[in-house]
Every structure is written in structure tokens, then in C-alpha cells.
Chain A
Amino acid sequence: CKKLDLVPTDVFTDANFWTTTEKANSVLNSAYSQLFNNNYFFFNEGMSDNAYNGRGDNEGVASLAAGTYDPALGRLNGEWDFHYAGIKTTNIFLENVDRVSSMDANLKARMKAEARVLRAWHYFYLTTWFGDVPFFAKDPSIEEAKTVSRTPKSEIVNFILTELDAAAADLPVNTAYAEADRGRLTKGAAIALKARVLLYESRWADVVTECEKLMSGNNGTYSLFASYEGVFLPQNEYNSEVIFDLQYVPQTRAYSNFFDMAPLSVGARLNALAPTQELVDSYLTLNGKRINEAGSGYDEANPYQNRDPRLTATVVYHGYEWRRPDNSVKIIYTKPGTDPDPAAPDEYRAGGISSPTGYYTRKYYDPTSANNFLSGLNLIMIRYADVLLMYAEAKAELGQMNASVWNQTIRPIRQRAGFTAASALEFNASANQVEVVRNERRTELAMEGLRIFDIRRWRIAEDVLNGWAHGAQFGPSDVDNGYIRANQRSFDASRAYLWPIPQDELALNPNLGQNPGW
């Protein structure tokens, strides 16, 4: 007979795990890794009017944008599971870290605060998508998970806000961290997240309070980075504008979404996410006007001239000068019949693998990326420009937008973007301030995954996600003035502002109940 009490030699068991700071720290590392992912980051834009996922149904965004989904859509379950998995890790950490007796008390307090922000983060996404959701202050048993009913969103939001306050108190400011800790949650990140939570709740006065905490410089040091394009380049990771970013490391923790987003002629495989004509149209002309405004100087025959420089930093259009890593330039031909190369990989072709809108993406292109665009460039979750825009929006909503607020927010953002005309930089008291800020937010933050949340909280999804999403003016002129019909969409305002509780979750726990209209 042989011994049957075999102990694994390559993993820890409960008996020997919670013994050192290093091991506890590994659990916190896992919690960080679960906070978001690059596919959600990029493809979420395809749910909005800014972009179209024309190949496959990546992360369900094609179905969500077109409104052709039902509660069985995999993304719904995926998003739900994703966040609760993150919550579990933080709960396990918070409930067991005290077993590590040897840990430094200050470090323990900081790590607990990091875990609490991460947990709040997940509840924030869950409530934003689903409304009322199951809420656990501590790690649930299987039985509890099967029978729990949903907690009202308002209660969870209160929990999130309280937690963020508590965590902010224990977290160091960004400058207080050692360089090796860059990427960790800071006091400023907790405050900025709180501002975003309040923004999504339209609690404008509270948004102002939180944003001011950051604009004051008392809770970390933040400023707009000098170059808009540079914010998203690898050499400027951890720049002064970054409040919190998702960490990637070249080769070892990396993503290659640009393989299906960049122009094909510079090495992409195909196009799975294409900016829309609607996004392109939202960029102002250099004099600060919308393209359809009188005196904008917009020329439909030359649509990319005389435009907000952020367009070029974000979207690749016909005739675009794509700068390669070696600084040489490749002209991108997306208009059918224009490419001198007979293969014409980037030209729009109905039903082809090139972009279905005639546009590609530049923002977040990493010139240092490896084969197949494998990139370790961090993805910014909250940046200081967003704080300024939140502040501006809150002030505008409160009717308090004025030259002073403007000069603290929109003006520096536009200046940094490269606007020079006074008409673009000066405060215009007669404009619809809310509309101006909203459009500024759209263009400044385009392709950063935030648009879908904005159009939902503004309740304009039913306007911008109904009918055709368009591409460039490469189509037959008798249809939609020649703008390509890329994707027909529908948005049912009676129910779609909340995602349905996933079918499988409802089957496992009928106590959840379904959202209205689903």
C-alpha cells in the first residue's frame, strides 16, 4: 500500500498560503488584473455612434449597437461574471489579509484601500449597465449567490461613494508612490472615480466638489500633457495627465487590437472596428464651429481639411499620412479607385475586409508594438482632461458655465489640441453650453470607450443609435447623399437604457427579477 495523503507540490493550499506579504500581494495583483480588459476598452466604442464593429460580434458590441440582442447575448453574462469575479478577489483579499501577521501596518492599510477602490469600480460598472444588482459586502456563499435579490442601485451607489471616500483617505497621492509602484491606485484616482460616479448620477454639484479636489492640486499633481497625440504614445506613459491607467507590459502582458483596427496597408489583418462618419462629423472646424454651422468653412469635397487637429490624432481617413515607426509616411487610400497599389488593401469595398466605413483608427496606435501590433501600451481609464470636462459639464448643467470655468477647462483642452483661432478658444456666452461641452467630450475622448456611457446617461442613445451608421462619402449618391450605409441600428428607449439581467443568471436565481421591458 502506498500513502494516499498526497499534497500538491506546485501550488499552495489554505494551510500554507496566507503567511507572507508577497503572497497576499499576489492576490491584490490578481484583483488589479481583473479590473478591465483591452477588448472591452476598444470594442465598447463600437456600441456607440462613434464606431462600427463590422466583422464578427466582438464582445457583443455589434448586436448591442444594432439592438438585435436579447437577454441570452453572451456579452451580458460575460460582463456580469467579469465584475463579480473581480469583486470576489477583492473580498477574499480583504477578508484574509489580516491573517498575514508579519505585514507592515501602513502597507496593509494601503493595500486594503486599493482593494476597496477596485471593488467599488466593479459595482460602478454593474450598476451602470444593469441598474439594481446583487450586492455583497463580503464574499458570499454559493447558497447566498443563488438566492440573493437585487439591491437598489441607489444603495449601491452610496456604498461606492462611501468606500471611495474611505479609500481616498488611506491612499497616497500619485507623487508619494515609488516609481516601481506606478500604475497603482492613488488618492487622486479614487477621487476621480468618485467624480465619474457622481457624473453618471448627474449629481452636478458633487461632481464640482470632487473635480475641484483634483484641480486644486491638493490630492496629487495632475495637468494636461503638452501634446494631445503624445498622451497616447508609449514614451509618455505615466505622464502628468494620467490619473489611472490599465497596465500593460510589452511582450509579456500585451494586446494586439490594432491588428484589426489599423489600416491594412500598414500591417493590419482586417478591420473589425471602424470610426463612423458621425464621429468624423463631430469634429469642429479650426474656427471652433460645427461643420454644419454657418461660416464653419467646412468643405464637403475636402472634408478633412481645416478640422480639429484631434481628428488626425484619432481617425485615419482618405489621404491620411500614416507615420510609420521609422518616421516614413504611408499615404492611406480608402476611397475606391484611388490607390496606386493595385492590391489597394485599404480601399472601401462593400463586403470586403477593409474598413466598412472608409475610416481606420490612429489613437492608441503604438509605434513600438511588436509583430501583429502586439503592444504593451497602457490604456488610460481616467485622465485629467476628463476631470476638466466633467467639471465643465457639471458647471454647464448647473448653469454656471462662464468665462472663468471655460478658461480652466475647455480653453486649455482646445489649446492643447492645437486650436489657435480665438473663435475656438474664447468663451461664447450665447452658445448652448451643455451641447458645447458634450461635443467637446465626444471629440476629446473619442475611441476611449466612454462615449457609450455618455449617450446613455444623456438619454440620447435613442436618437443616435437609430437608423443607419454611416461611412465616408464613397457610396452611390442617391442614397444618404453618398455616405456609405454601414450598419442599420435600432434602440428601444423603453428598455435598452438598462441591459437585461442575463438569461442564465435569471435561470439560476429567479429572485433577481428582470429589468423593465425585457
Chain B
Amino acid sequence: QKFLEAPVSIKLNNTRLTDALDKIAADKQVRFAYTDNVLKQTYRVTLTATDKSIKDLLGEMLSPFNLTYKIIGDVIVISEGGATTITGNPVDQKQVKITGTVTDDLNLPLPGVTVKVKGTTIAVSTDANGVYTIDAPADAVLVFSFIGFTTKEVAVNGQSSLNVQLVAERTTLNEVVVVGYGTQKRSSVVGAIDQVGSTIYEGRPAVNALQALQGTMPSLIIQQRSLEPGQAPNVNIRGVSTIGNNTPLLVIDGIIYEDFNAINNLNPSDIETSTVLKDAGAAAIYGSRSANGVLLITTKKGKKNTKATINYNGLVGIQKPEVTYQPVHSYENALLRNEANVNAGLQPIYSPQQIRDMQAEGDHEWFLDAILKNAWQQNHNLSVTGGSEKTTYLVSAGLVDQRNNLVGPDFGARRYNFRINLTNEIGKLKVTSILAYNRTDRKEHSFNTSTLIVDAARTPTYYDIKDANGNYLTNDVLAEFNPLGILEQGGYRQADDDGINANISAELNITSDFKLRGVLGGTLVSNHTLERVKQVNFLPKGTYGADRNTNDINYKSLFINTQLIAEYNKTFNKKHNVGALLGVANESLTTRGNEIRYRLTDPELGTPTTGTIIDPNTSRGTLNSDNTTERSLNSAFGRVTYDYDNKYYGEFNFRIDASSKFNKQNRNAFFPSISAGYRISNEDFMEDYRSKYGDLKIRGSYGILGNQNVDDYNYQTRFQNAANVYGFNNSVVSGINIAFANPDLRWERGATLNIGVDAGFLKNSLTVSADYFNKTTRDILLVPQVPGAYGAGVPLYNAGEVRNQGWELNVNYRITSKNFRHTINFNVGDSKNKVLKLEGDQEIFSYDEMQVIRKVGLPLNSYVGYKRDGYFQNLDEVNNGPKPTGLNVVPGDNRYIDVNKDGVIDENDKFVLGNPFPRYNYGLTYNLGYKQFDFTLFLQGVGQRSMFVRGELVEPFHFNYGQVVYQHQLDYWTPQNPDARYPRLAANGSQSNTNNFRRGSDMYLYNGAYMRVKNIQIGYTLPTSIAKKIGMQKVRAYVSGQNLFTISSIDFLDPEASEFNNNLGAGGANSGRNYPVPVYYGFGLDISL
């Protein structure tokens, strides 16, 4: 008990006794144990001591409260009353059997809690009911520890029954954070890493993991462009920093995935942690694959020494399609069409009598309403977990069944998941085996959703979709097809996709500091799609699917990832923590596919029959182009970490990659990063700060990340057979497509600087992380624009440079009062990019009326176009105002700003109008618990974004394809409404229409900022006592609502809809022809037994 003599200097002024003890404990590396009812919070002390021994000091401090202490091992145990006994070496301690229940702050039993006799190796775990039994000396101290909860030490004091409540940890400092090829404690993380646990998936009707991840972590930007079942969203980490590929790298349980969308085949309920590596420090170990950030997923495993637990959770709900635009009444529509025609110098279309008839008849059912319906969605998961001393297991099965909101026979998607995660310890060897199977069955109509939606939406309400005999009708808008007919009878597209992931890793602990790990992971994907187009005849005319196509499309791929890793961790002199990791890996992908496409098949069976042909242009065998690829990547990587006393941290990561995608001389690349951190709050002089506020750490990193996302074989000139390009004498002949090589192709490299700070406030109940990053991507792989006179497209070149900088803020607040438990997470991130170099300095891409520009000094893909300067209000303004080349305008037409004042509106008068990439992406989660009730509110939004929307939702009677005016379009120019949102009506083809709608301008630009209530849950958990009576550990019932409402200045379209993919590449302009956003209401049940 030498430490009792250690000298202490301390000044206490009405200090809480517990705080005083903490202070002494921290200073002198001694430890105290006591129970809350013994050391009341009201006990306060005032005294000044200089070089007093702890022994004396304790006597002085404790006696006023009639407290005493004894020494057990190296712990000072404080108890009530009695004389001070200092027991030297308790050999003849009386042994008692202690039992009790460990619960959490909700009074729910905690299974798997480690209960240890202080200073010994005696330990047990709580069982599934949170109950433990342990033999210990009567004066022992028990240590209760469990991940995610504050460790608690309780003195036995002779009691035989000890119930303990553990408090969830206020700080995340001890959280285990997944990093590349390993884990770290949150407190020692120096990279820019965010992690969320499994709670984000709970009670959410998310059909895939990405939907649930949206808004949960700053700068993990997820944009759901379409909510149709089976559609994958856009994913970006920290915005867009290259013109080429911006897709992050996906790593599941340590295995790299070639296809990022594989995450959508996971069962969200199987996910334990989702981690985003954002900076070079964290990501460089993934080298060439990491420039766009890394998403690490780990799946749940069983826990040691727990009995088998069965969990079921199920959520059943209804999805209601929300259409945000409505047509005007049928007769109004007819009047407006007449107005548009007359304004264009054409005849009116409808006679006054026809219009009166329409008014008398009223509106018919709008086609868009006719093709939509409410649809069910169900999520069910069942799992069994448990473990013995040497083995843990998790077996789970899941089902997601999302029915389609479009009418038609049994359209929707079902995904089945099955997983076994198993760990075995055999002496020094630990083997982890993971086997996961997923199957997706998706059935949808045989046509194109946006066309069906737009066809239905742009038909005025004076037409009928069906006649009294059930025939589908065509009309002057839908001359060819009727969307209801296609949906109900036009056939289907049916996908049945299987995926098997197998992952075996063997870890050998050679010494306690040094281990070797070998990992073999494989993903076998087998996709099959059957497409069947059935003929539908319409009245009075029109036929769908006259070719009666039957298509059989198969695709199979095998991806193998092998890794061999050596890891060394040691602490020297208690303060120097050193870690080193070195590994080699290979990734190989082989794909095979074939497609058979029949035309003119049997109308009933879809089988080949007389007259059937195999379409030679689109059918492809396994050996045909693009259906066979092979690629390989060899890598070596490593990490060295060092920290001193949990105060100073340093880390070095690197990876060397060699890829088959590049020519020999450019094949290898080295991607290093260095990181450093400083935990100021652990300094002695920060003691006051630490006790008042909490943790404080600053960290920084710099490194080079790579990107090899180019197609295979691009460094070689390829000559590809192209069947049936031409014919002679009525026989087809084949030609050659030449893909020109760029032999100098090399890696794209992004240099990233990251500076971050993690700070706790209010004794760590409020934690804030802030990061700033600045990334410059060089040698960007892009297809340079070459003059048409060159005569061909060119391959990718390393020909661009982009800087992307931004920041993130992640705030967590957690407070528990007597009845209420609040947790709040708010995260927000922003990124802004700028083109630094570009071959040719500028590129413009046109899609319908929309143009986007890439130009040095501007953000990537900014919208360009004319800016409106109001309208020509009178003839005088028309005569004297600037007009577009070749156009005659009239009052009520858009007037554009003439930048160079030459009287002509042309290319030289264009402005940069805005940028389509979402900025200030934020998410807010608020959890409130009150007794057995819980409430969750989840908001997600975007602070700034420009949207260019064209097509019939903006232009009345768009190109004559559409013949509807929507209610939001009624604010158009008339002499009485000179400041309207839209110009005057004028029929397609007229000079006015060309001026107003065929010239891209800020008239088409909308503010795409929004805030959406993504999820609300209200739940009730049965008290444990009642649950136990019915044989359950936990029962929670809840209601869940998704996409409940959206606040946005664009009110007629889902503000999340975008024409751009995650590389800001567009297939066309955004015409707003989206599958409507489903609003979801559901009821769920979580049961554990």
C-alpha cells in the first residue's frame, strides 16, 4: 500500500467528493471504487492540502460523511461507517456466491456483460436475461464491462445479491472504429472517419442499406434519383473531385467489392457498422481504389459466452405514390390550347361548343391516376446469435418485398438474404467464416417507366383511358400506345439475380503481439433477366409489342480477393504504442455473359415458333464483345501507427498497386499518406478543461489517393467486329469498330489534405467533430473533346485537374434525465469543386435545351444559358430589344440579357446559371425516449442546389407531345400579368415558342434545396417484467412513416430528382418524368427471445 503514502497537493473549494476522488485518481494513478448510494452527489468538501499523503487526505475527506475505506488489490474501496481497516494481503477472505442482473438505462437486461473480480482473472458473462453468478471474496470489487457502456466497479461488501445498471457511454471514445484492414479505438483515430451503428437501420422501411444511410454521416452524399423498386441511388463521398469516375470503394467484412451497388444486395439488418473513410490518411491503404472515399461495412457476429438469442423484426406498410402536379380542368385545357394556337397565328383547335360540352361533362380520370396504385411493402428478418467460449455464430434470414406503385400483374421486387457468420478459435488460430447468399426477384413492366409516366401525365382529362368494353384507347396525344394497356397486358421484365459471398479469414496469433492473417473472399454473381413483350392492340389504332420479343439475358461474374497480412502491436514502457501492418493482395474479376433476343415469338407462350427470328444485331454470345472481360490487380500495402500516452498520434499508410488496365511502364503506382493527431485534453495542463468540457483532439493528414476506374484494355487499339453494319445484294455484312488506344494511360491521383478536430462539451455529452479538406486530383482520366474533324472519339487521357474542398460537421448530443432520454445527431457537409486544368480549357455539353459547361475556374458541369431580363412588354421593346439569331418575337416573350450589347442574343450572351451538385447536405436524427415509449425523427436535406427542369412540366404543350397545362403553369404572361413566372402561351414551332422554350435559360432553373422528413417512428417497448412473463426478452412495437413530407421551393417535382449520375454525367436533360415518391406508413414489431 505504498501508494497511500504518495504526496498530494490539492485545493478543494466546495468540490463534489466524487470529483475530488476522480482528481486524485487521475493524478496519482490510483483507483477508487464505490457505489452511488454510498457516495452521494451532495457530498462536498473544502480543504487545502500540500504534500499530504493520500492516506491522510482520505481520512480528512471521508470522515465528515462517516465513510471509511479499505484497500483491495490496487483499489481503494469506499464504504459506509465502521473503522478503517487496511487489509494487506487478504488470504483468508471469505468466499461468497454473488448473483444479480445487469440492466441498461432502460432497465432492459444486458446479456454478454463481462463480470470480473477486480485484480483476478475470475470472470463470467451475463446470460441472455442479464443474470450472472460469480464466486468472489466477500470484500471483492466486481468490474462490469460491456462495449458501448461505461465500465462500472462495485464493491461486494458482503452482499450476495448485486443488481447493477450500466450507463450507455456518453462519449464515443472507446467505440471501435473500423479502418482499412483492421480496427482502431475512436480515441486513437486520426483520419477523417465516420461510423454509424446498426440503429440507423432499425424500424426504417429502407429497401436497401443506402436508403437508410442517407443523411446519417456528413459528406456521404446519397441522392435517390428514382424511387422505383430496384433503382440504385447516386453515391458520392465528399462531393465530386474528378471528371471521371467518382464511385467510392465498397469493402464488406474486409473484402473489396468490384461493384459498389453490391451493398444493395445486403440485408440491412445484418449490418453492424457502416464506416466512411474520407481522407487520405484513412483511405490510402486502399491505394488506387480509394480516391473517392471508402465505405466499409461489417456484418454482425455472435458474442462469446451468450446463449442463443432469436430475434425477429418485421415491418409491414403501405406505399402511397405522391404526384405533385395536377392538370387543369379539361375545358380549361382546351381553352388554353386555343390560346396557344391563336397566339402562334394558327387556327383554334376546339370550337366553343366543344368546350362547353367538356365543361358540362367534367373531367375524366387523369391517366396518371389510372396507372398508379397504393402498394404494400414488407420487411422481415429473423436471426439467431450466440456463442460459447471458443465459437460465436450468427445465422440470419431476411425478406424485403416491395410492390410496385404502377398497376400491373404482380410488379415489384423481392430480396431474400441468408447469412452465416461463424468464428472459431482453435488454439492460437482464429477462423472467421462468412457465407452470405442473396437473391433478388424483380418483376416490372416491359416498357420504360419514364415514358409511361409522361405519356399518362401529358394526356388531357377529356380523353378516356379505356372504353366501356375494356378496350384500351389511344388518342391525339398517345397515338401509338396506351400506358395502362402496356402495364396490364404488355408483358414483363423479370430479373432473378443470385449472389453468393464467401469469405474465410484465418488469423494466427504467433505471439501476443504478432499475428498473421490470410483472407480469401469470393463473390459469385449470377444474374438472369427474362424479358417478354406481349402484343397489345389499342382502339382506334396503335399496337404495342407487335414484335413479341422474348429476351434471355445471362450474366455471371466471379471476383476473387486474396490477402495476406502480418500485424504487430506492442506497447513499450506503458506509453509507447506501436503498430505495424503489412499485406499483399490480389483482386481478379472474370465475367461472362450472353443474350438471346427473339423476335416474333409465339403470342401465348413466348417460345420460338414459325417466323421467329433471333435478332442478330442485339443477341450476343459469350465470346461477343463486351461480354467477356478479365482484369487483375496486384497490391502491397501497409500501415505504421505510433502513439505516445494517448496524446500524440502518428500514422503512415501506403499501398502499391499494379493494374492490368495500364501499359507496363505505367502499371505500378505508390500511394502514401501520413497522419498525425494531438489529444490536447490529455495534457496535464488541460485537466480543468477536460473535467469541465471533455475530450479535445486535433488531427491532420496528407496523402495521395488513386483512381483506376477506366475500362479494360484501353491502352491497346482494339478492332471490334460489328455485325450487320451494311449489306450488299440484300445480305448483311459486318464491319469494324475501332477503339483507339492511349498507350500512355496512367493512374489518376488525388492529393488530399485533411484537418479535423474532435471536441467534447458538457462533459462529453455533446461531441463535435469538424473537418476541412482540400483535395487536388491530377491526371484526371477523361475523354477530351476533339474536333469532329478528327473523325472519331478518342480514349481516356490523363488530361484534367480538379480541386475539391469542403468541410463537415458532426454533432452528437445525448442527455438523460429522470424520465426522458434525448439523443440528437446533426451532420452537415459541403464541398465545392473547381476545374484547375482541362484539355482545351472548356467543354460544353448540350442535352435538349440544357447545356452544362466544364471550364477552368468553374465548378464541374455548371449550367449555362441565357438569363432572362423579364419579358418584352410592348412592340416598342420588341423593336428596340435584343433578339436571338433568326427569331421574331412579340410582347409576352422572354427577353434575354444581351451581355455584349450587340443587339443579338447568341452564344456570347450566355451566363453560368448554377450548379446541379447538392451542397450543404445535412441530416438530423432526434431520438426521444420516455419511459417505455420512443420517438425518432429523421430529417434529411440539401441546402443548395440548382435544378434545370425542362419538358412538359415547364413548357405547356411541350413540342405537341404533351397537350396538358398543369396548374403550376398558369402563372404565364398576359398583358394583365406582366411579371409572370412563364412567358405567354404559343404553339410549338412558332417563333415565340422557339424563343421562349427552345433556348435554354434561367426560366428552366429551379431551386432544388429541400428538407424532407425521411422517417418518423413512434414505438413502445414492453417492460422487461411483462415481456419475461410471456417468454420474451424484448418486445417493441412501433409505427414508422417514410418520406412524410418535403419542404422545397420546387413544388411540382421531387427535388431529389436529378439528371446526373454520381460523376455528374447526364444521359439527357431532366424532364421530371419520375416515378412518384412513395409516402410510406407502416407498423413494425421487434421481438427477442
Whether A181 is near chain B, meaning CB under 8 Å from some CB there, is: yes
Q: Per-position contact with A for B804-816: 1 when CB-CB < 8 Å, else 0?
A: 0000000000000
B713 in the interface, Cβ–Cβ < 8 Å? yes
| Contact (Cβ within 8 A) A6 B712 | yes
Q: A6-B660, A84-B788 are in contact. Are A507 and B842 (CB under 8 A)?
A: yes
From residue A18, how far is it (CB to closest CB) to chain B in Å? 9
Assess whether A26 is interfacial by the CB under 8 Å rule: yes
Q: Pick from A347-355, A421-429, A438-446, A454-462 the stretch touching chain B.
A: A347-355
CB proximity of B753 to chain A, nearest CB, Å: 32
Please state if A508 and B634 are interface contacts (CB–CB under 8 Å): no
Report the minimum CB–CB distance from B766 to chain A (whole Å).
50
B735 contact set on A, CB distance < 8 A? 26-27, 29-30, 33
Least CB separation from A52: chain B residue: B989
CA–CA, A145 to B972, complex, Å? 47
Complex interface: chain A residues within 8 A of B712 (CB): 6, 8
| Residues B713 and A6 in contact, CB atoms below 8 Å apart | yes
Q: CB within 8 A of A13: which of B345, B719, B791?
A: B719
Q: Give complex CA distance A504, B629 in Å.
A: 35
Asked whether any CB of chain A lies closer than 8 Å to the CB of B86, the reply is no
B731 lies within 8 A of A68 (CB): no
Interface residues of B in 870-905 (CB under 8 A from A): 884-888
Indicate if the CB atoms of A80 and B991 lie closer than 8 Å.
no
Contacts of A181 in B (CB 8 A): 728-729
Q: Check if B733 is an interface residue, CB within 8 A of chain A.
A: yes
Q: Which of A4, A248, A508 contacts B727 (CB 8 A)?
A: A248
Is B476 in contact with A349, judged by CB distance below 8 angstroms? yes
| B14 CB-CB contact with A under 8 Å | no
In the bound assembly, the distance between CA atoms of A350 and B454 in angstroms comes to: 22
User: How distant is B446 from chain A, measured CB to nearest CB, in Å?
Assistant: 15
A227 touches B (CB below 8 Å)? no
Give which listed residue, B341, B539, B720, B886, contacts A351 with CB less than 8 A.
B341
* A residues 333-370 in Cβ contact with B at 8 Å: 341, 343, 345, 349-353
Do B840 and A3 have beta carbons less than 8 Å apart? no
A residues near B626, Cβ cutoff 8 Å: 10
Interface membership of A247, Cβ < 8 A: yes
Q: A250 → chain B, closest Cβ, in Å? A: 8
B163, CB-defined interface residue at 8 Å: no
Which A residue's beta carbon lies closest to that of B635?
A: A1
Known: A6-B631, A27-B735, A371-B546. A180 touches B728 (CB 8 A): yes
Of residues 78 through 114 on chain A, the ones whose CB sits less than 8 Å from some CB of chain B are 80-81, 84-89, 91-92
Within 8 A of A (CB), among B338-367: 341, 345-349
Cβ B733 vs Cβ A29 within 8 A: yes
Please judge, given known A-B contacts A265-B541, A269-B542, A351-B337, whether A508 and B787 are in contact too, CB under 8 Å: yes
A400 an interface residue at 8 Å Cβ cutoff? no
Residues of A within 8 Å of B785, CB to CB, are 504, 508
B967 interface contact, C-beta 8 A: no
Greatest chain A CB density within 10 A among B341, B719, B720, B790 is at B790
B15 at the interface (CB under 8 A from A): no
**Is residue A275 contacting chain B, with contact meaning CB distance below 8 A?**
no
Given contacts A6-B713, A70-B884, A251-B613, contact A507 B667 (CB under 8 A): no
How far apart sit A152 and B9, CA to CA, in the bound complex (Å)? 97
**Do residues B541 and A249 form an inter-chain contact, with CB atoms below 8 A?**
no
Choose the segment among B19-27, B617-625, B935-943 that binds chain A (4+ C-beta atoms closer than 8 Å): B617-625
A464 to chain B, nearest CB (A): 17
Please tell me which one of the listed residues A30, A269, A507 contacts residue B844 in the complex, with CB atoms under 8 A apart.
Answer: A507
A70 B726 Cβ-Cβ under 8 A: no
Query: Whole-angstrom distance from the CB of A341 to the nearest CB of chain B?
Result: 7
Please give, as numbers and ranges, the residues of chain A lying within 8 Å of B736 by CB-CB distance: 23, 26-27, 29-30
For B904, the closest partner residue in chain A by CB is A70
Instruction: Name A496's closest neighbour in chain B (CB-CB).
Output: B886
Q: Map CB proximity to A onto B690-728 as digits: 1 under 8 Å, 0 otherwise.
A: 000000000000000000000011001111111011111
Within the complex, the shortest CB–CB distance from A467 to chain B, in Å, comes to 11
Complex: A438 Cα to B991 Cα, angstroms: 31
The answer to whether A252 touches B617, judged by C-beta atoms less than 8 angstroms apart, is yes
With an 8 Å Cβ cutoff, the count of chain B residues facing the other chain is 99
Interface-side segment among A301-309, A388-396, A484-492: A484-492
A32 to B161, CA, bound (A): 93
Q: Is A49 an interface residue (CB 8 A)?
A: no
Give every chain A residue within 8 A of B631 (Cβ-Cβ).
6
Say whether B450 faces chain A, with CB atoms less than 8 Å apart.
no
CB proximity of B849 to chain A, nearest CB, Å: 11
Does A502 sit within 8 A of B, measured CB to CB?
A: yes
Evaluate contact between B349 and A350: CB separation under 8 angstroms.
yes
Chain A residues near B790 (CB-CB < 8 A): 84, 88, 140, 142, 145-146
User: Closest residue to A238 on the B side, CB-wise?
Assistant: B729
**Is B157's CB within 8 Å of the partner chain A?**
no
B residues near A69, Cβ cutoff 8 Å:
885-886
A119, chain B: closest CB distance, angstroms: 11
B624:A10 contact, CB within 8 angstroms: yes
- Counting chain A CB atoms within 10 Å of each CB, the highest count among B547, B727, B842, B961 belongs to B727
Residue B738 lies at the interface, judged by CB distance under 8 Å to chain A: yes
Docked pose: A146 CA to B794 CA in angstroms: 13
Closest to A352 in B: B476
Q: Are A341's CB and B540's CB within 8 A?
A: yes
The reply to whether the CB of B510 lies closer than 8 angstroms to some CB of chain A is no
Residues of B within 8 A of A270 (CB): 479-480
Residues of A within 8 A of B87 (CB): none
Which B residues are in CB contact (< 8 Å) with A86? 791
Check if A29 sits within 8 Å of B726, measured CB to CB. Answer: yes
Cα distance A299–B835 in the bound complex, in angstroms: 68
Which chain B residue has the least Cβ–Cβ distance from A87?
B791
B-contact 0/1 string along A242-258, CB 8 Å cutoff: 00000111111100000
Given known contacts A6-B713, A33-B726, A72-B907, A249 and B789 CB-to-CB distance under 8 angstroms: no
State whether the Cβ of B659 lies closer than 8 Å to any Cβ in chain A: yes
Query: Taking each of B337, B885, B888, which has the highest tally of chain A beta carbons within 10 Å of its own beta carbon?
Result: B885
- Complex Cα gap A219–B784 (Å): 47
Q: Kindly state whether residue B13 has any CB partner on chain A within 8 Å.
A: no
Docked CA distance A205–B737 (Å)? 42
Chain B residues within 8 Å of A326, by CB: none
Binds B, one of A54-62, A196-204, A402-410: A54-62
Residues of A within 8 A of B625 (CB): 10-11
Rounded to whole angstroms, the CA-CA distance of A349 and B790 in the bound complex is 46
Q: Is A300 an interface residue (CB 8 A)?
A: no
Partner of B787, one of A17, A68, A146, A476: A146
* Given A26-B734, A30-B736, A77-B788, A12-B719 contact (CB < 8 Å): yes
| Contact in complex: A145, B789 (CB < 8 Å) | yes
Contact of A349 among B349, B634, B664, B990 (CB under 8 A): B349
A136 at the interface (CB under 8 A from B): yes
Q: Is A188 an interface residue (CB 8 A)?
A: no
A80 with B731: CB separation less than 8 A: no
Closest to A82 in B: B788
Contacts of A142 in B (CB 8 A): 784, 786, 790, 794
Q: Which residues of A contact B84 (CB under 8 A)?
A: none
Instruction: Report B-chain residues with C-beta under 8 Å of the C-beta of A63.
Output: 994, 998
Q: Are A253 and B732 in contact (CB under 8 A)?
A: yes
A2 and B588 contact, Cβ closer than 8 Å, known pairs A13-B717, A353-B476, A508-B786: yes
Given contacts A68-B886, A68-B998, 20 further A-B contacts (CB under 8 A): A4-B667, A6-B631, A8-B718, A13-B716, A26-B733, A29-B736, A30-B735, A63-B994, A68-B994, A84-B791, A134-B789, A142-B784, A146-B787, A180-B729, A252-B732, A350-B349, A351-B337, A351-B346, A351-B963, A504-B788
Cβ contacts A to B, 15 pairs, < 8 Å: A14-B716, A33-B725, A70-B885, A85-B792, A87-B791, A247-B727, A250-B730, A252-B617, A253-B727, A267-B541, A345-B540, A351-B337, A351-B341, A371-B547, A508-B840
Which 5 residue pairs are nearest across A and B when measured between Cβ atoms?
A88-B791, A343-B540, A30-B735, A145-B790, A371-B546
